[in-house]
Every structure is written in C-alpha cells, then in structure tokens.
Amino acid sequence: MTYKPGVCNFCGTGCGHNLRVENGSITGVFASPGHPVGKGRLCVRGWHIHELLGTKERILHPLVRRNGHFEKVPLSEALDLVADRLGGFAGSEAAFWASPRASNEDIYSLVKLARSVLGSNNISLLSDDGHREAVDVLGGSCGIPAMPGSLADIAKADFLLVAGADITRQNPIVGSDLHLAALQGADLVTIGARRTQIAELSRTHIQNKPGTIALVLAAMAKTLIEDGRAAREFADNRNSGFEAFAESLRGLNMPDIERLTGLSSDDIRGVALRLAGAKRAMAFFSSGISGLDRDTIAVLHNLFLLSGHAGREGCGINPITGICNIVGGYDMGAVHDLWPGYAPVGDAAAAERLKTVWEKAPTTTAGFEVNALLADPEKKLKALVVMDHDEDTGRFAERIRSLDFVVYTGAYANPFLESAHVVLPAASYVETDGTFTNTERRIQLSRAKAEAPPDALPAWRIFSEIAARRKQDWGFRSPENVMREIAKVVPAYSGVTYAKLEKDFGIQWQGAGAGTPAFAPISGAFQVPETSEEYPFLLLTGEANHFWHRNTIMRRTQIPMREYNALLLLYPNGFVEIAEEDAKRLGLRERTPVSLTSAEGALTSFTRISKALKPGAAYVPYFLHETIARLLPSAWGSSSRGEDAAVPIRIEKV
C-alpha cells in the first residue's frame, strides 16, 4: 500500500491524512476519514502538503561560512564546529529559537540543549507569541494552560462564539466544524470588525469597531450581571474573583459602549441572553496573528464563567493555534520563563525533577524572550540557534547579521541562511518519527515515511550530537527514547508511549485542573484605539487562505502558491481593503494608488474595495509584511494584539 497515515503539519488543527509514498518520495495526499479531527476533510493547504514534501528545494549539505561564502563540509566537522563555538559563550549570551512546526521530540531536545548543556534559559518558540496570553489566562483560571475543550464538543454545543478569528481561513476544519454545527441548529455568533466567511455563515455577526472586542464582551457580562443572570455559584463565592470582575465593569456605561463599539446595546444584550440561556456554549479565538490580547481573553473567559459555561464538559473558551505544534512547544518548555510542563523557571519541585532526569541541574538564571533580546541592543547577545520554521528574520535582520555566531538547522532554505555561520540540514517531518500536539492537546504520532537525504539528521539527533560533543550523552537512540524522557519530565505526558499513541489517533493530555474555575484578573482599562482627524481609519490585519504563516514554506507548493500569486498579480505592491462607502467618499476606485500613514510610518499601496468592512475600518492581510512592518514596526514580530490590534491610519489618494 502506498498511502501511509499521518498528521498534517500546517495549522494547529492537526487533521489526519494519508500520504502517498512511491519510490521514496511523497507523491500525493488524501484525507483520512477515520481521523477524529479532520473526519475526512482537509483544507486547501492540507490537500497540497505533498507538493511541499515532494519539493526538491531542500537543504542537502552542511554548510560553513568561510570568507563570506558557504562551503560544504562533512557533517561531523560542522557539528564539531557548532559544539565548539557554542561552548565558548556564556548561557546568557546565547539564544535558541525553537520551531512550533517541529515535533515534541525535536523541540524538547533543543530545550534540553539550551537549558542543560549550554546553561541558557533564552529560548522561545519562533512564532507569534499570542498563545502565551491564552496559556496564562487559562492556566491561571482553569488549570489547563491550553484549549480546555475538545473539537468533538463543537457538534454537541448549542451556542458557539467566534471572537475575532477568520477561522475558515486560518483553521478551516475547525471552521467547518462550526459551520456544520450551525447547520444542525447551533446558535453561531461571531464578533469581529470584518465580515469574514464564518461571519457570513453565522446567525449573528457582531461587527464591532476595530479594537473593541473586549469592550463588547465586557458589555455582555455587564448586561448579564445587571439582569441577575450571573451563575449564582460564582457570584456567591468570595474566592472566585467575581467581585473584582464585577467591580471593573462598574465604570462602563452603555452610551459610551455604543459609541465606542458602534453597536446597539439591544444587540449586545440579545446575544448575551442567548449565551446565558445556552446549555453548552463554547468560544473560539485564535492564539496566533489574529489572536486576542490578555485582557480580551480574560473578559471572554469571565463572561463564559459568569454565564455558567466554564469548567464544565463541552463548555469553555478555546484558543485555536495557527501552527501544528505550538501547544507541544509550550508543553516542552520552549519558553524563556517556563520549564517543560509549564513550571516557572526556578520552581523547586521541577528543578529537582529535571536534575534527576538530566543528571545535571538546570540553570535557574532568568532567561529572556528571544524577541526581547534582539530588540534590546543593551542585551549582550552573541549566539543564536534557529530551528526550521516558516519565519524570517523580520525586523531583527540587521541585529541577527551582527551576531558572532548563528546556526540554522532546517529542511528548507530560509532567510536565516543569509545570517548563518553554520547550516545543518535537517530531516523533514515525514523522514523521522515524532509527535505533535494539536490545539485540543491531542498528542499525535507521525511515523517516518521517507528517507532523509544522507546528510540530513532529524533535529533531535542533531541536538543530541552537539550535546555529546559537550560531553553529555543523552542516550537518545530514537525519537521514542526522547518521548520516554519527556514522559518523565512533563507531568501531562506521564505514561505517554508511542505504543499508546499509535492506537486511536493519539492521546489528549489532561491538565491538573484547578478545582472550581476562577475569574481571571483584568486590567479594567478597556483601552480602545481611537481615530482622530489626522488618522480617521483603524487598520486591521488578518489571515489569508493560501498563505500560511510567513510563506517561506508555502512558496514551495504549486497550487496554493498560484492562488496566492493570483491575488498579487492584481496587486503587486500590496493592497489595503476599505469599505465601499469610504471609497466613494474619498473618490477611490478599485486599485487606486493611495498613501497610508500611521503615527509610525507611511507607504503607498492600492485600494481594494471590500464588502467585509464597515466604514472607518481598513484591512491588510498578514502576508503583506511590508505594509504591516512599515505602518506598525513596533508591533511587528513582538507580542502583538493581532486581529484586534487596530492602528489609526490615514488614507489619501496619490
């Protein structure tokens, strides 16, 4: 049989597929009907993953930069060099960028290399860090630092809320679950400044002014409290945090809310009452680029708790991850201040556990987010190890080029190569066994299906080879060995083995649980981006269908790439979407050249008239990096507010 079952490696949904393998190369893909997540569906990206996996554009040889040029060297020489050079830096001088596309085994090995061998806690997942906000809010108030529910619960819910996310583009199969549930009668409500496809498919779309989702949710909560619809068990419990939450809402008044959100209080109230009346309610938001900030997530959680829809089966608010192993990356502790298993760096019990397993105490020196290190010229960063991913060097390109030593390890070429001193070719995810943890915490095993090029080792092996050269033998002989160790170090993975994962399409890890869920603390500031005469538009960013992340990977496909280009053929210099009314008012037609100006920068682009926007809002898809980087450089590549991060701009005809 030429089809081998596996897991799609693009977004965090984690759909099952069957890859066709002929003569050692991947020639096709077909959805897996038996898989509990995809249930036989894939999105346009998933249907073309074989184009990526069959690409001949691979990094094939270890490369070392000498006199400004790359030279091919034997693998052992490259590994020696990396181990030797990295050993020469203090832990605080080195930083490690793990890939949320990599397997748990690969990420764990990098985490161990950084924290145990090289004494550094400077490690981050190379991705938008929006997920951290969800981890903190949900971990703190529910005891599960990830999506608490299951995708299978969607079909059983009678109220579904999508906050902000363009979910049929980002995680299309989750979007499909929501749409199919709505067809079966579930009350599907969307909140967001753009009328997205899921908004079109919902019963109610609350089209708020950009940047006001938290305010809309707070207004819903306020309505329920004032109507006496708050679930009594929380209102009466002094330790729940209800009082503090209710207090922070007291300052809000409906006329202000109506003005700021552009919505009527009756509409807000109507939806709030439908939520309160639901038996099982779930909310979804993205933890990636079009994600929400901490306050918004906290208000969302509190609203659901208040209405009796948190901490119960089939209820709750769910961050949907944009990349296949973001959850696993957090589980493995690829976070500067969290050790494997979400223990804060320095936590005594965790330190003891790590010391026993690692046979070396982990460093307790505080680490920094890699973004923060690169952004701050005062920080003495000298070396950077980057693992295969779709990201590029972004706004830190110059700083990265100035570092003493940069290692890039990956299967595909990436802009990091330009700054790298050593490049180590890695096996792609179908060339080694490995596990990936999807948005609903499902740890899934993906088996090797093809041979890696001769010099390309799986990343877990690359890192253990470097460790061995620093006199630490980890004893990793297979990815299964690595998982055995992960099971000892990460409490939620305790007892997980490949044998168990192989059955029934993986295992969903369970959080410790915090007993009764509590209200999440909120700042109560409810700051809303305001337009002015100078900057009358609010600019939003979001996802696109055929574009995935920074596109260095999708670029190697043919059909999705053609689709992406189809749009750019029309708008080679990018575009900004505006509402028809605004276009008329400003005398702009389709593809009129315009200048966009924010307080931080300016550029020229072209108009695209969109029915998805209300007047006063403007939208640029995430793949137009240039536009975003020029207009909001401060938000680029650092913790941003994603979809709800509206930037006041001015649009003028040029």
CA distances from 453 to 56, 62, 428, 431, 571 (A): 11, 11, 10, 9, 38
* DSSP secondary structure letter of residue 32: -
> Is residue 508 classed as helix, strand or coil in its secondary structure?
strand
Q: Are the beta carbons of 322 and 391 closer than 8 angstroms?
A: no
For residue 262, what are the CA distances in angstroms to 213, 255, 389, 537, 614? 11, 10, 40, 14, 10
**Which residue's CB is nearer to other proteins, number 233 or number 502?**
502
How far apart are the C-alpha atoms of 485 and 502, rounded to whole Å? 18
Contacts of other proteins in 491-520 (CB under 8 A):
502, 505
CB within 8 Å of 562: residues ≥ 6 apart? none
* Cα first-last separation, the chain: 60
The window from 168-176, 241-249, 259-267, 291-299 that contacts other proteins (CB under 8 A) reads 168-176
Position 194 contacts other proteins (CB under 8 A): no
Pick the closer one to other proteins by CB: 48 or 294. 48
Closest CA to 113 of 352, 369, 373, 334: 334
Contact between 606 and other proteins per CB under 8 A: no
Is 205 a residue that touches other proteins (CB under 8 A)?
no
Nearer to other proteins, 3 or 358 (CB): 3
Distance CA 541, CA 628 (A): 8
**Residue 35 engages other proteins in binding (rule: CB under 8 A):** yes
In this complex, which beta carbon is closest to other proteins, that of residue 177 or of residue 582?
177
Structural tokens at position 25: 């190369």
Closest approach, Cβ 153 to other proteins, in A, equals 18
Q: Is 13 an interacting residue with respect to other proteins (CB under 8 A)?
A: no
Per rule CB under 8 A, is residue 567 in the interface with other proteins? yes
Cα gap 123→368, rounded to integer Å: 7
Does 569 help bind other proteins (rule: CB under 8 A)?
yes
Residue 225 and residue 216: Cα distance in Å, rounded?
14
The reply to whether 200 sits near other proteins by the rule CB under 8 A is yes
Q: Which stretch binds other proteins (CB under 8 A): 175-183, 376-384, 419-427, 522-530?
A: 175-183
Indicate if the alpha-carbon torsion angle 91, 323, 387, 631 is positive or negative.
negative
* CB 39 to other proteins: min, Å: 8
CA neighbor of 511 nearest in space, from 283, 331, 244, 250 = 331
Residue 363 touching other proteins (CB under 8 A): no
**Cβ proximity to other proteins, 28 vs 601, nearer residue:** 28
Which strands, in side-by-side order, build the sheet including 16-22?
A: 3-7, 16-22, 25-31
DSSP 559-596: HHHHHHHHHHHH-TT-EEEEEHHHHHHHT--TT-EEEE
Q: Is 179 in the site for other proteins (CB under 8 A)?
A: yes
Give the shortest CB-1-to-other proteins separation in angstroms: 5
Which listed residue (151, 201, 490, 651) binds other proteins by CB under 8 A?
Answer: 201
One-letter amino acid of 229: R
* Residue 33 is a binding residue for other proteins (CB under 8 A): yes
What is the chain's Cα-based Rg? Answer: 24
Report the nearest approach of other proteins to the CB of residue 34 (Å).
Answer: 5
Report 101-140 residues binding other proteins (CB under 8 A): none
Name the nearest CA neighbour of 174 among 438, 431, 358: 438
Question: Among residues 366 and 566, whose Cβ is nearest to other proteins?
Answer: 566
Whole-number Å distance between alpha carbons of 327 and 101: 10
CB atoms within 10 A of CB 511: 17
User: Minimum Å distance from CB 560 to other proteins?
Assistant: 9
- Token pair of 318 as six digits: 């769910």
Of the candidate spans 103-111, 172-180, 246-254, 511-519, the one that interacts with other proteins by CB under 8 A turns out to be 172-180
Helix axis angle, 294-306 to 130-142, nearest 10°: 30
Which residue stretch of 52-60, 122-130, 399-407, 426-434 sits at the interface with other proteins (rule: CB under 8 A)? Answer: 52-60
Contact flags string 544-563 toward other proteins, x per CB under 8 A: -x------------xx--xx
Told to check if 50 binds other proteins by CB under 8 A, we report yes
Nearer to other proteins, 59 or 489 (CB): 59
Nearer to other proteins among residue 177 and residue 440 (C-beta): 177
**CA–CA distances in Å: residue 598 to residues 385, 419, 532, 578, 630:** 34, 31, 11, 16, 9
- Considering the complex, state which of residue 244 and residue 413 has its C-beta at the smaller distance from other proteins: 413
Q: Which is nearer to other proteins, 56 or 471 (CB)?
A: 56
60 binds other proteins, rule: CB under 8 A: yes
Q: Is 41 in the site for other proteins (CB under 8 A)?
A: yes
Q: Which is nearer to other proteins, 40 or 344 (CB)?
A: 40
Considering the complex, state which of residue 165 and residue 173 has its C-beta at the smaller distance from other proteins. Answer: 173
**63 by DSSP, 3-state: which?**
strand
* Span from 41-49, 77-85, 245-253, 303-311 in contact with other proteins (CB under 8 A): 41-49
Rounded to 5°, the CA angle 101-102-107 comes to 130
**DSSP assigned state of 7:** E
Residue placing its CB nearer to other proteins in the complex, 34 or 74: 34
Residues forming the site for other proteins (CB under 8 A)? 1-3, 5, 16, 18, 20, 27-35, 40-44, 46-47, 50-51, 54-58, 60, 168, 172-173, 175-176, 179-180, 183, 197, 200-201, 502, 505, 545, 558-559, 562-563, 565-567, 569-570
